[in-house]
């Protein structure tokens, strides 16, 4: 049996470290045969704290990813790594220096600037509250207020997609589709360009529903997971999508992020 290579990754930030973590994982996911040990050190704002962390990194021969912007912190880490033959990725200082040079302006060098409670933050909270309120068609009036309306049979990622898009400041309402169920009148009043029909491959949906039932300790052989019933549900949905004239997206081989990008890039320009 092959033993996976192991690598320690120290993620250091003088803010919450979300950017540094995303940067590190975006790269390390490309190496499935390596076992990465992520150690996160957020809110590291002094060289005394850094000194202890860097000594740990030296003992672990760690790869260091940092997004330090506080005065002197990035230089302190980079110098230590150079002197101790540690691999380091500085995710901020060169970018900041380039912008400063290009614009002729001086950077603030304040950690966590993108997490301040600004208009965008409150807009995102409002969008998240909207997604929860108008999830699963609980209130059809939400379709008239939404930036995006998602339609789909059960287990086509409507709710997680709604929440992901809400994090991007879009107000999203969604409606589960069940054959023989009345479609709310409000849906027909929505611009079809703001409506997106989600579908899936029958066998993929069958597997997802069976696994969900097993997770809840239920018998996987039910009408809910029956392949013929699933095909009928999908046919009903496809017919509705055609009648509405909305964009149809098959989510079977797409991540939430990929589907969300397709949706946002297809929205009317005056959103």
Fold category of 5-115 in CATH: Rossmann fold (3.40.50)
Q: What is the mean pLDDT of residues 197-210?
A: 96
The answer to whether the annotation marks 40 as part of a ligand binding site is no
Q: What is the pLDDT of residues 105-114, one digit of tens each?
A: 877 666 656 5
The answer to whether the annotation marks 153 as part of a ligand binding site is yes
Q: Output the pLDDT for position 111.
A: 61
d(C-alpha 12, C-alpha 67), whole Å: 7
CB 78 within 8 A of CB 101: no
d(C-alpha 228, C-alpha 207), whole Å: 13
The answer to whether the annotation marks 209 as part of a ligand binding site is no
Q: Output the pLDDT for position 209.
A: 93
- At the top level of CATH, the class of 119-266 is alpha beta
> Is the confidence at residue 116, as pLDDT, over 70?
no
Please state the length of the chain: 271
CB 10 within 8 A of CB 41: yes
Specify the range with the lowest mean pLDDT, choosing from 64-68, 115-119, 170-174, 221-225.
115-119
Q: Higher confidence at residue 175 or residue 95?
A: 175
Other beta carbons less than 10 A from residue 56's beta carbon: 13
> Is the confidence at residue 193, as pLDDT, over 60?
yes
Specify the range with the lowest mean pLDDT, choosing from 29-38, 61-70, 121-130.
121-130
Q: What is the mean pLDDT of residues 25-54?
A: 91
The answer to whether the annotation marks 155 as part of a ligand binding site is yes
Confidence of residue 198 (pLDDT cuts 50, 70, 90): very high
Query: Where do the structural domains in the chain lie, given as residue ranges?
Result: 5-115, 119-266
Matching residue, tokens 């005394």: 48
Domains 5-115 and 119-266 share a fold: yes
The answer to whether the annotation marks 152 as part of a ligand binding site is yes
> Is the confidence at residue 262, as pLDDT, over 70?
yes
Whole-model pTM: value is 0.61
The answer to whether the annotation marks 157 as part of a ligand binding site is yes
Phi, psi (5° rounding) for residue 195?
-105, 140
- Write down the mean pLDDT value for the chain: 90
Confidence of residue 115 (pLDDT cuts 50, 70, 90): low
Collect all residues with Cβ–Cβ distance below 8 Å to 92 and sequence separation of at least 6: 19, 66, 67, 68, 69, 74
Q: Output the pLDDT for position 42.
A: 87
Q: What is the mean pLDDT of residues 115-136?
A: 81
Query: CA geometry: angle at 106 spanning 104 and 112, to 5°?
Result: 135
């Amino acid at each position: 049996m092959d033993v996976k290579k192991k690598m320690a990754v120290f993620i250091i930030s003088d803010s919450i470290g979300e950017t540094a973590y995303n940067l590190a994982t975006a790269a390390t996911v490309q190496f499935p045969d390596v076992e990465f040990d992520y150690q996160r050190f957020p809110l590291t704002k002094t060289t005394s704290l850094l000194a202890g962390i860097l000594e740990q990194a030296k003992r672990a021969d760690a790869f260091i990813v940092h997004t330090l912007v506080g005065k002197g912190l990035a230089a302190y880490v980079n110098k230590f790594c150079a002197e101790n033959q540690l691999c380091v990725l500085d995710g901020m200082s060169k970018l900041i220096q380039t912008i400063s040079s290009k614009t002729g302006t001086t950077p603030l060098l304040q950690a966590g600037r993108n997490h301040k409670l600004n208009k965008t933050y409150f807009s995102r909270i409002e969008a998240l509250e909207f997604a929860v309120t108008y999830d699963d068609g609980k209130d059809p009036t939400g379709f008239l207020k939404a930036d995006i309306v998602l339609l789909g049979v059960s287990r086509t990622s409507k709710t997680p997609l709604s929440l992901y898009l809400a994090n991007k400041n879009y107000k999203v309402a969604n409606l589960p589709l069940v054959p023989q169920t009345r479609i709310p009148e409000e849906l027909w009043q929505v611009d079809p360009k703001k409506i997106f029909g989600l579908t899936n491959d029958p066998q993929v949906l069958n597997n997802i529903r069976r696994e969900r039932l097993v997770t809840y300790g239920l018998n996987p052989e039910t009408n809910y997971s029956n392949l013929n019933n699933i095909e009928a549900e999908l046919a009903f949905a496809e017919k509705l999508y055609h009648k509405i004239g909305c964009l149809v997206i098959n989510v079977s081989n797409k991540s939430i992020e990929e589907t969300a990008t397709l949706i946002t890039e297809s929205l009317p320009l005056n959103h």
